[in-house]
Chain A
């Protein structure tokens, strides 16, 4: 794991640890209180704190939740408050009566698990559908749509409502690989094509649309896997070793030859202003021979940004011509 990733992970864990400690402190203070109003205040604070680490419906740019996200949040909050009230009453009455009933301790771990259960139970197809329709309602290429799609994907994965089609056809290992790829492809498709979702089709169920795509995607992934089964993924270390297959043309050589030949005399006559020696052919050939921009810049005594901008512009302009000329090689 890279440096920045490690740093991020440890920060997140520390953040979570702090939240857990806070929750447990609040629970202790809650258990010590008997006044009903005070109890409710504490319960509310505990639930709000827990909800800060909720699995779905996160805020967008720190702004308050709206629409379906707010609905889901408030529903979970209400249920968690109710549950806590019941638990607290049980604990406190048990203490008073002195019975030795074993109750679940209100630890942070227990409470966060409870949160997960509550959200899971509430995240039915209707809510997912509402999240999908909300995304549809936001403008294409707007930041809100991106936010809504990110939340939708998170919710779909969290909900456990993705099916596992064709599972029995493959070994568990192979299925795992195919499934991961199919999920990635399906969810990408959903986001790109959310406007195609028709709430009146698929038995009016949102996940039918998603799972239908997933079903087809697994088969497609298998087909590709089968075709490429013999392919060995290289590691970053052995990428420089060339396996020269005679079938593939050596593009560098072909390009070099074409630039030197310059049938229409366009490459050698295109040059940086006032520097006929710094022409396109010169720069391109220097690049092909593996020279760095610093080396080329030093040799021609032209600053790198000028050189690379010139080269970039003319690569762009010449590409359609070169493509046409060299397409016979593909």
Chain B
């Protein structure tokens, strides 16, 4: 493989084992053009992967959608996961073309785009340049920024702090996970009765026996282009017996008490709260529309996992929990 003296072009041979992997993925597809798409995307991602390793960046193919046959089937993706930072998209162009097609599924959720050119024999691949964002189907090659600037660009990306999984049942014994606080520490004002819009829970809510007290924890999450919104995520857990728990998840807009009365305290428009319960294959979701809070109730067993996602436009934060 070669980076030229100006570092603005990178070229590498594509190994036999990469082709074998691409073929394995391709075989899951019965439709001709989809099969070709999957094969080429696999090659493109592996070219980018080689380059990133050579400039000292860790990558994770297994965490990339482009390496997951199901994601490959559902979307046209050539993403490369950079652990701790996000996904790079690797749009493919064949030698002889001067426009690269970037699939709309990849216009968001990417920290950058590295264009990969494959020669007709598929034995070598080159990186032609990069662009920070894409919002059109066709990207002319002249608009690409020089690859020599890419390491600097990448080094400027924000590192995403990994979230640890919080174990809810531990909260019953008073333990506190990093980032989580007791609600009274934040002096949260009392809320009006919560409205759950588009309620879609499949679980039955068991009655609250008076004996066991629920435990709550709250985490503040900043969202928005300039982190202008602060959302309070409140998770409440109440044991029903040794193994079963009632859980509630609530979001509301957080404004500091000392900033005075703000009248209606609505959640940011279009904010989404999504709960994915892997164990029972269910999803609860709601979108804020002049809403002050969204709350979901469900029950689960010890050691079951679920994930809570709070999303605003293209930004999202996912919190993982184990009961």
Q: Measuring CB to CB, which residues of chain A are less than 8 angstroms from any residue of chain B?
A: 1-5, 8, 12, 58, 61, 135, 140-143, 145-147, 149-150, 153-154, 180-181, 183-185, 187-189, 191-192, 194, 221, 224-225, 228, 231, 233-237, 239-245, 248-253, 255, 263-264, 266, 269-270, 273, 284, 287-288, 290, 293, 304-305, 307-309, 311-313, 315-326, 330
Contacts of B220 in A (CB 8 A): none
A264 to B285, CA, bound (A): 14
Contacts of A191 in B (CB 8 A): 53-56
The verdict on B241 contacting chain A, using a C-beta distance below 8 Å, is: no
Flag if B36 contacts A317 (CB, 8 Å): no
Flag if A269 contacts B16 (CB, 8 Å): no
A330 to B73, CA, bound (A): 14
Q: Residue among A3, A188, A243 with the most chain B CB within 10 A?
A: A188
* Cβ-defined partner of A251 (8 Å) among B4, B57, B69: B69
Report 18 cross-chain contacts, Cβ distance below 8 Å, ordered by A residue.
A1-B95, A4-B141, A147-B151, A154-B3, A184-B1, A184-B13, A189-B53, A228-B16, A233-B123, A239-B36, A244-B30, A250-B30, A251-B28, A252-B73, A264-B281, A284-B74, A305-B107, A313-B316
> Chain B residue with minimal CB distance to A297?
B104
The verdict on B283 contacting chain A, using a C-beta distance below 8 Å, is: yes
Interface residues of B in 83-110 (CB under 8 A from A): 93-98, 103-109
Contacts of B19 in A (CB 8 A): 231, 233-234
Flag if B278 contacts A143 (CB, 8 Å): no
Closest beta carbon of chain B to A19's beta carbon, Å = 12
For chain B, the bracket of interface size reads: 35 or more
Contacts of B97 in A (CB 8 A): 2
* Cβ-defined partner of A2 (8 Å) among B72, B96, B106, B200: B96
Number of CB contacts from chain A to chain B under 8 A: 226
Flag if B105 contacts A308 (CB, 8 Å): yes
The verdict on B29 contacting chain A, using a C-beta distance below 8 Å, is: yes
Please list the 8 inter-chain residue pairs (A to B) with the smallest Cβ-Cβ separation, ordered nearest first: A308-B104, A146-B151, A240-B32, A146-B55, A248-B27, A239-B36, A188-B53, A251-B28
Closest beta carbon of chain B to A1's beta carbon, Å = 7
A305 to B108, CA, bound (A): 9
Contacts of A231 in B (CB 8 A): 16, 19-20, 23
Which of B113-121, B177-185, B209-217 touches A?
A: B113-121
The verdict on B222 contacting chain A, using a C-beta distance below 8 Å, is: no
* Cβ-defined partner of B71 (8 Å) among A5, A225, A319: A319
Given pairs A221-B15, A308-B108, 5 additional interface contacts (CB within 8 A): A140-B56, A184-B1, A236-B36, A239-B39, A330-B69
A250 to B30, CA, bound (A): 6
User: Beyond A228-B20, A252-B31, A315-B75, is A150–B281 a contact (Cβ under 8 Å)?
Assistant: no
The verdict on B166 contacting chain A, using a C-beta distance below 8 Å, is: no
Contacts of A235 in B (CB 8 A): 120-122
Flag if A264 contacts B202 (CB, 8 Å): yes
Flag if B54 contacts A143 (CB, 8 Å): no
Contacts of A320 in B (CB 8 A): 276, 278, 307
Flag if A224 contacts B311 (CB, 8 Å): no
